[in-house]
Chain A
Amino acid sequence: MATTTLSRAAGIGIAVGLYGISFGVLAVAAGVSAAQACVMSMLVFTGASQFAFVGVLAGGGGALAAMGPAVMLALRNAAYGLSLAPILRGRLGDRALAAHFVIDESTAMARAEVDPRAARRAFLATGISVWLCWNAGTLAGALLGAGFGDPRALGLDAMFPAAFLALLAPQLRRPAAPAAAVAGAIVAVALVPVAPAGVPVIAGLAGVVPGVLVARGARA
């Protein structure tokens, strides 16, 4: 395997591992047990959804309310999986295992390669590296967070919006994105006083509509 592919995969893994530490800390602060945080990172394995899930729990929402935004954020993995299907060929068992590693980072690395075999190697190297580091980070963060006192006094509640902003920023370059972001934020904030916890965020999804309209206008 090309050394550059491996070293880039390792570099991405380390960055994601640091971000796994913050996930572990926040999950425990939100009332999720360390074991649950670790199982979530092993099996859900999609960062933004996991942050959204524990974020809604921390904000007082129930598990059902937390599920909505988490599932919606995981929808983009379906789009990634479809775009990767041509390079993830092989036996059913292999494809089923490879599917678990369909995330932002592995998709981006695969898309950067032209040759399908190189793309498959980049996908797997990045996916596995990120999985290992994300889980190590989560475990470290959950153990660390269990020793913390009042989450508000430590400003842990302020970590959630900061984390989401860091996830959102690279996506804002697309022409449709700023309109979608502004509209989603306005809808959600307007619903906070009247809708049950978790619902305002899901309603923010409506921001996709102005986003798509703006993108279409830009093309026309």
Chain B
Amino acid sequence: MSWGALLTLCAVSYALKAAGPVLAGGRQLGPRARQALDLVAVPLLAALILVQTLGDGHRLTIDARLPALAVAAVLVWRRAPFLVVVLAAAATAATLRAIS
């Protein structure tokens, strides 16, 4: 991965964080704009979950990642710690691939 892309991401990320404290000086967004900004992460995360579970290049496939996601979902619902959730997902996928 190129350092250029990485440093661009650093700059954009900082600029977004700093817009309020450095530039706005107490000015506020309207409630509707704030609500939309607040909501942005939700459909993006949902899209990432599904694309990274089912996507395989330009194809959609069902493989060991789907049962792994199901295990993760149960653990998230049971309020398991983050690291437990991701490790259980990895272990599920690795086990299914090893035995198939």
Contact = CB atoms under 8 A, between A and B. Distances in A.
A146 interface: no
Interface string A158-190: 111111111111011010110011111101110
Contacts of B91: 155
Interface string A14-28: 010011011000000
Contacts of B90: 154-156, 158-159, 162
Interface stretch (A1-9, A35-43, A128-136): A35-43
A208 B81 contact: no
Interface residue SS majority, chain A: helix
A181 B43 contact: yes
Interface residue SS majority, chain B: helix
A205 B47 CA distance: 8
A22 B91 CA distance: 13
Interface string A67-96: 101111111111111111110100010011
Interface string B1-39: 111111111101110111111101111110010111111
Given A99-B21, A154-B94, A166-B72, A44 B47 contact: no
A73 B46 CA distance: 12
Given A69-B48, A99-B18, A207 B97 contact: no
Nearest to A103: B17
Interface residues of B, number: 78
A18 B82 contact: yes
B76 to A, nearest CB: 5
A39 B7 CA distance: 9
B29 A155 contact: no
A48 B51 CA distance: 16
B9 A53 contact: yes
A161 B53 contact: yes
Interface residues of A, number: 102
B86 A163 contact: yes
B43 to A, nearest CB: 2
A187 B47 contact: yes
Contacts of A79: 29, 34, 37-38
B64 A36 contact: no
Contact of B20 (A21, A31, A71, A84): A84
B10 A165 contact: no
15 contacts: A43-B13, A44-B10, A46-B17, A52-B48, A55-B52, A57-B1, A73-B41, A73-B44, A77-B16, A82-B34, A161-B65, A168-B42, A181-B43, A181-B45, A184-B43
